[in-house]
Amino acid sequence: MSTTLVRVNTYTHSVTFVTDKMLASLRRIIYWTGLDQSKLLNDWITVERGVYTWLKSHHLVQLILEIFNPQTSKLVGRWDFDISYSTKTDEDGEFWVDTDAIRYAIKKQGLIPSDCTYSIFATTKVGSDEVQGWGPAELRSTEGFVRHCVGTTIGANQLASGTAYWRPKA
């Protein structure tokens, strides 16, 4: 019985770590691309509550940052955090984040016009809990864009996040 308790406790620490690092990565992307961070900071508790709740229950599939032109509502760029759950328990307890990979990908993505804004979305599995401040929404079309995988940028025992970005086709 104590083995189960330790595993749950370890997973809770992993959920807390990955939640924190995903939000910190969102903030870095927003800052490093020259967008206004105040929208994220104002919604921080709501975003954090959703990510934590759905990671803990294994329902979070993807966290998405859409960058768009507020005049036309057209997509300008997008960042995806793809969640990976593992039942592997022989991990050595490593918790890590690769912010350099994200910074490098921002340089490759290209410039974002300064008048752009953003929205944060989450895709969840069927049966996920409702979280206050989150509701149904529709993502903007990625037609005319190409997705580039950055790789796994956040890891914590049985939980990881891969990162990818979308940019217009050349």
The Cα 144–Cα 52 span in angstroms is 33
Q: Minimal CA–CA distance to 154: which of 111, 95, 74?
A: 95
Q: Which long-range contacts (CB under 8 A, 24 or more apart) does 42-48 make?
A: 43/120, 43/133, 46/131, 46/132, 46/133, 46/134, 47/23, 47/120, 48/19, 48/23
Q: Which residues in the chain belong to E strands, given as ranges?
A: 60-68, 75-85, 95-97, 117-124, 145-156, 159-168
> Which pLDDT does position 5 carry in this prediction?
46
Q: At the top level of CATH, which class does the domain 2-168 belong to? A: alpha beta
- Residue 87 confidence (pLDDT): 59
**Domain coordinates of the chain in residue numbers?**
2-168
**pLDDT tens series, the chain, 170 aa:** 444 444 446 888 899 999 999 999 999 999 999 999 999 999 999 999 999 999 999 999 999 999 999 999 999 999 999 999 985 655 566 888 999 999 999 988 877 888 999 999 999 999 999 999 999 999 999 999 999 999 999 999 889 999 999 999 97
